[in-house]
Structure 1
């Protein structure tokens, strides 16, 4: 059995979701809830011993199924839930009932609370639509329009979409404030806004705004959420791989110390198992990227992580133990998030499911003492002694 690294004496303080008793949810000196601060402290502790394994949209759909209750492709393979579950808030800003991948926001809220009750963690991204062009979050880097290049400027103070954007942030704040258990605890979550900004495929990307505009966008977001009473959120900063080990490039659009809690980056492996050059490039880039962010994390007193990764379709039978794990095991990161297992896009999956060719290798990955799933953690939200 793997080591449970956060088995605290206070574990009895975790209250079952079936309890009708209201529990204390105090604020820390920072203004965030004490449980949110505890989560951050425990992520630091985790990173010295292992890393949480995460999966996007894990309990709401998978390969060949959608909407089932208490189901998970990961759990079907190793009889355990991921320690970290990711969801995306895209289309929340539009007032839609489902997100851009068809996940109902009410179901998302329920699953966030369930993950908290089982002792796991949640991270949230936000692929929000373009408030100026009314298009999606995505743009075409090779054919950017003047309007697309003005989007970030338009949402900042004095811009034509500023009031509209404030309304979107208020909708986001309402959702974050609604993440409360039946017994009165606001669930702490990790929010990862404005990600992959070192590329130019989102309207907040490298060639669509200046560094100062990006920083102002981040500050506007965080300030507005705090103004609306959001006190259960940690913030994650995650460029793409374009920084290529250059710390100065990584920090070019840094929002500022005190505004970021977790740093990471997003990187994906080729889906061609025969392309050994591309696989080696992924491995080497992952190694260099993690080395760089771990050094930055020390300098800026934040927690390092791998914010998105994976090999689409998992065509390489030993990818988990021969490509991913050897690099991850070298660095004190808090978590790694694998992308989603789509139910409606054949081949678009990043975690194994029963019968998939990497199941055996994934179980070896699961059994490694550093890879942490729900059964391996206990007390993420309890105060560190």
Structure 2
């Protein structure tokens, strides 16, 4: 729903967006027979109620996962509103529980990560306080062409020690913690 997208609030109505979403999902599933996509509805964090979150929602039959993009409450422009972030995550969790959907924190981060303890004191604290089962949390990309546009720490960055605490925290799960779900079952039996 971001204004910067051609499908955003300023470029199409909620009804037009829903029609576009449903057409796209139908075309991919029914015409192209795509069976390996997870369809995630993930608006920006501008909502404060479930009704606002669902304003452009195309319907449960068209969505597998719900989420949100939220940079605003996590330090963008030096502003933090972690209670609002917790409330928004809980809105997602409540709806996901009732509708049987997966829920994820589909996009977040703090550009340049100027706060050395951002990982544990901001991100981890917020997702723990929300108390909802998240399928994943994703921070935005690192742009190798820019000295300031990065969202994950690199070797030598000031937030690395805190990121390592975040990584080692029993609450977080990273790829190394997952079972071998892509292995050939025949190979697993041989081990």
* TM-score, normalized by the shorter chain, greater than 0.5: yes
Cα gap change, 1:262/1:381 in structure 2, threshold over 3 Å: closer, same or farther?
A: farther
Provide the alpha-carbon RMSD of the alignment. Answer: 1.5
Cα gap change, 1:201/1:299 in structure 2, threshold over 3 Å: closer, same or farther?
A: same
Which blocks of at least 5 consecutive residues in structure 2 are unaligned? 184-191
Which one of the candidate residues 119, 125, 133 is aligned to 1:320? 119
Which one of the candidate residues 43, 60, 70 is aligned to 1:257? 60
Cα gap change, 1:261/1:380 in structure 2, threshold over 3 Å: closer, same or farther?
A: farther
The answer to which structure, 1 or 2, has the higher relative contact order (CA under 8 A, 6+ apart) is 1
Secondary structure at 2:138 match in 1: strand
Deviations 1:21-40 (A, max 9, x none): xxxxxxxxxxxxxxxxxxxx
CA distance in 2, matches of 1:250, 1:219: 18
CA distance in 1, matches of 2:9, 2:159: 36
Secondary structure at 1:204 match in 2: coil
Which one of the candidate residues 69, 75, 96 is aligned to 1:270? 75
CA distance in 2, matches of 1:208, 1:224: 22
| Correspondence for 1:354 | 155
Which TM-score applies when normalising by structure 1?
0.45
Q: How much has 1:380 moved relative to structure 2?
A: 4.4
Q: How much has 1:284 moved relative to structure 2?
A: 2.1
Equivalent residues in 2 for 1:121-132 (5 A)? none
Deviations 1:303-334 (A, max 9, x none): 11101000110111111111110111232111
Is 2:90 aligned against 1:287?
A: no
| Correspondence for 2:166 | 365
Q: Which structure has the greater CA radius of gyration?
A: 1
Q: How much has 1:361 moved relative to structure 2?
A: 0.5
Deviations 1:205-249 (A, max 9, x none): 1122122111110011011112112111110000001112x1011
CA distance in 1, matches of 2:91, 2:121: 22
CA distance in 1, matches of 2:180, 2:99: 26
| Correspondence for 1:211 | 14
| Correspondence for 2:142 | 341
Equivalent residues in 2 for 1:1-385 (5 A)? 197=1, 199-226=2-29, 227-244=31-48, 246-268=49-71, 269-271=74-76, 275=78, 278-279=79-80, 281=81, 283-329=82-128, 330-380=131-181
CA distance in 2, matches of 1:327, 1:259: 29
Secondary structure at 1:240 match in 2: coil
* C-alpha contact 1:265 1:307 (8 A) present in aligned 2: yes
* C-alpha contact 1:303 1:334 (8 A) present in aligned 2: yes
CA distance in 1, matches of 2:58, 2:70: 21
| Correspondence for 1:58 | none
